Every structure is written in C-alpha cells, then in structure tokens.
Structure 1
C-alpha cells in the first residue's frame, strides 16, 4: 500500500511536466510567428524589386509591357547589332567621300560635277646646280607662270621639276631651290635626300607623290636634258586610254656590266643570270605609265627593289604584272623627226 507522501510526489511530478510542455509550445509558436513575419517581409521586398526592375526595363526598351519575352529580347539584341553595323557603314561612307568617291545619286542631285581627270602629270627629274637646264626647258616647251597654268587647263597636262632635299638640311642648296620655286611655282620637292646613288629611289617616290596629288590617266618621267613635244606626247598618250595598265617608252634590253670601273656598272649583276642581260625596259630619257601602275608603285613603294639605274628599276617593278609594254619609236630621243615626242640635248 502506497503512502500519502508518495502519492503527492507523483501528483506534483505530473503537473510540472504539463507546465513545461505549455512553455515549449508557447516558445515554438513565437518562433513560428517571427519566422512567418520575416519570410513575408522578404517576399514583399522581392516583389517590390521585381516590379521596379520590370518598370525600368519597360522604360529603357520602350516595349510598354510588364515583362519582356525571350524572343523580344533577341529582337532587341539584333537591333543593337544592326545599329552598330549601320554606324560602321556611315563612318566608311564619310571616309569614302573625303577620298573623293561620290555616289551616282549624289551626282544626279547636285550641281557640282567631279573634276575632269588630267591626261598626264610630267615629272622632270633635276638636281642641284642645273638651273640653266631648267630655265632652258621653261623657255622651250614647259612654259611658266600664266602659260604653265594655261597648259594645265587647256591640254590637261601638269609639268613639274622633281628634286629632293640636301643632305645638310636647309643649307644653301635647299634655300636656292626654295627661292627658285617661290618665283616659278613649278617644283615637286620630295622629302628624300638628293644623291646620284639615290636616283632610282627618287623616281619611285616621284610616281607615288604624283598619283597621290593628281588624278591623271598617265604619269611621265623625263630627264632635264630632254626637250618634249607636248602635242605629240598628248596624242600618243590619248591613243592608249583604253588600256588599263600601260608601260610606254623606247624599249630596250642590253648587257649587264659587272666591272666596278664601268660607267654602267650594276652591283647586283649576278641577279640577271649567267647571260647577264637586262629584261625589257624603257629608256630612262622619257617613259609613261598609266594610273594603275603609278598606284601600284605608291602602295608598294616600301618593298619595291631599286637597282643602280633608274630605268632598269622601273622596268623591274612591272615584271610579273599584267602590263602592256608599248615599244614606241617616237619616245626614242636620239633624233628629232616629224611626230617625235622628244629630243635629247
């Protein structure tokens, strides 16, 4: 039989357990409530953020919808790519206009017309101490002042003396040429050094400068001891306007000299084979090349090889190209006859 004290202890123990259970339930409920409030708050913040992002996207894209689908997003990306391409094309068009290219529509809607292409640009290769030769040429066939300008306007032929710079920059030689040019205004002064061994390089840079400065059908090289019949030259050049790549002159070949003491010594003689014979090329007194060939020289001038003689150098530049070599007897300047283009003096 249990005592009353034992019954009381059992009774008190059961009541305490029930009390602790109620406390645990209350604490759990409080935590659940707090968790529910936190989660709800986060969801509300995220909902607000989504609404803001959707409105911002609508504002930037101008779609006017509450959301942007994948297909619509791809269209937007494609439009941006097209805009980039259009911008690049507009830049290329602006650059082309600066270079002188004009569309047919522009020509039809504008009163201005493209300037007529010149027939020829003639470069007379000269050097220091040759003023008497230059003055004789001015009096004989080149003209000067207003007469030179008239030659350009009426016959579409530009004539200029071609010279480089002194090795001692801005010395008396450079000043004399500058003073002469201030009176005659008929020089092309290249930024290359004036030296006998640099003549071939000088010719190369003349053609490059001329085609970059004037738009002509032909570019002509002449020595400053040659007299030119401008009318005969113009007629010969005009007869070959239909040929795109023309190299015209008094064509020759000849022996390659390997002896250093010879007047026509070629240091690179071994490159011309065992027979030591030059390839076909125009005499250096006067020859003409068409615009396409002058452009070729301008583009490739850093890598075009030069030899000891400028006429050989010029001929070498056109080997391997689809060029029409015109052997024109009227360009042989050893004698003056009816219809001759030139005469040596």
Structure 2
C-alpha cells in the first residue's frame, strides 16, 4: 500500500497518525487566521486612535483663537451647531438599502429638517463620486439627493479599497460643517429607531 496521505488505502497503524496530522494542520490554519485577525484588529484600533486624535486636533484648531466667532466653511456657510452628526456610508449600488433606511428609521423631507432643527441630529448618506465625473452613477445620486436632500457628497472617488480614506474625509468634512458633540459613522446596513435611541 502507498504511504501517500491522499491514498484511501493506508495501513491501520498509520490511521491515528494521519488523522492527528490532518487535525493539527487544520488547527495551524485556524491559529494562523486568528493571528491575522488579531493583527487586523490591532491595525484598525490604531487607525481609529489616529482618527480620534486627528478629529480632536481639527476641532481644537477650528476653535482656538476665534473667540465666539465660528469658522466659515468653504461655501461661506457658518458652522452649524448639532448634537450628533451621523454619516451613513453608502455606495452607488446601494439604493435599496438607502430606501429601506428611509422607510424604517430615517425621517424624510420636512421631518428630517425638523429632527436637525429641534433635536440637533444630522443624518446624511455619505458618498463620493465615480471615476468619471458626471457619469450615470453620479447623476442617479444627484437625482436621489434632489428628491430626498439627505446626501453628503464627499470630494472622493468611490472604491472598496478607499473606505478608510472615505471615512477620514467624512470626519474632516463634517467637522468643518457642524460643531457637534458627537460624530458617528455607520454603514447602510444598519437599522435603528432614532426615536427610541435619543
């Protein structure tokens, strides 16, 4: 009989050893994945910590030396006060998710404005642009925004591998537009009831 591991005919005395090697091999693979996951978590933790420091530095630089005057945004609008600014990370292909959020917990139209004005809760879908400006993807978002007025367009080219850049850009953009107690970034697969949360 062959001693090849893939052979189904092995001497009985080798079965226990072979089984142990297979299990140990799987265990090694699991431990390798655990190690990779641990390293990824540490890397994300470091990135979050860095973003937190950048956010604090940004808020400090905006308020230092300005007394009671608020800094002006690029479009000459005053920074608005808010309790919380919630950015919902979304993609061009996620219209059904956005519609689901609008149907479940995100107020629409005047109710969205009322939530901002009365409770200081600002909620926006955040999205950048396609690789070719003015494409059908950009136009569809523009049309959706004209209907719902719930988008924050970032100066960013959309791409799955650009999510950390998009997040960083979101925080730097909203801190220049709103002076809030909290800034929150969620994904468009999150469903919650704001009325019960706040």
TM-score by length of 2: 0.59
**1:117-128 correspondence to structure 2 within 5 Å:** 117-128=81-92
Q: 1:160 aligns with which of 88, 101, 124?
A: 124
Structure 1 counterpart SS, 2:91 = coil
After superposition, the C-alpha distances for 1:251-275 in whole angstroms (9 at most, x for unaligned) are: xxxxxxxxxxxxxxxxxxxxxxxxx
Q: Deviations over 1:221-252 (max 9, x none)?
A: 11100012324543xxxxxxxxxxxxxxxxxx
- Deviation, structure 1 residue 153: 1.9
Structure with more relative contact order (C-alpha pairs < 8 Å, separation 6 or more):
2
Report what 1:71 is aligned to.
none
Gaps of 5+ in 2: 1-64, 72-78
Find 1:100's aligned residue among 70, 93, 106. Answer: 70
1:177 aligns with 2:141: yes
Give me the CA root mean square deviation: 2.4
Q: Distance in 2 between matches of 1:219 and 1:229?
A: 18
Deviations 1:142-179 (A, max 9, x none): 11101111111222100000001101111100111011
Q: Which residue of 2 aligns with 1:218?
A: 182
- Structure 1 unmatched ranges of 5 or more: 1-94, 102-114, 235-345
Question: Residues 80-129 of structure 1: CA distance to partner in whole angstroms, max 9, x if unpaired?
Answer: xxxxxxxxxxxxxxx9479528xxxxxxxxxxxxx983210000000111
Query: 1:178-231 CA distances to partner (integer Å, 9 max, x unpaired)?
Result: 111111111000111000000111001001111110111000111100012324
CA distance in 1, matches of 2:174, 2:80: 16
Task: Indicate the SS of the match to 2:142.
Answer: helix
| Structure having the higher Rg | 1
Give the match for residue 131 of structure 1: 95
For the residue of structure 2 that corresponds to 1:121, the secondary structure is strand
TM-score using structure 1 length: 0.35
The number of aligned residues is: 128
* CA distance in 2 between partners of 1:99 and 1:165 (Å): 33
Give the 3-state SS of the residue equivalent to 1:167 in structure 2.
coil
Q: In 2, Cα distance between the equivalents of 1:175 and 1:97?
A: 41
Task: Tell me whether 1:147 sits opposite 2:111 in the alignment.
Answer: yes
- What's the secondary structure of 2:191's corresponding residue? strand
Q: CA 1:179–1:97 in structure 2 vs 1: closer, same or farther (change >3 Å)?
A: farther
Residues 99 and 138 of structure 1, relative CA distance in 2, 3 Å threshold? same
For 2:26, the equivalent position in structure 1 comes to: none
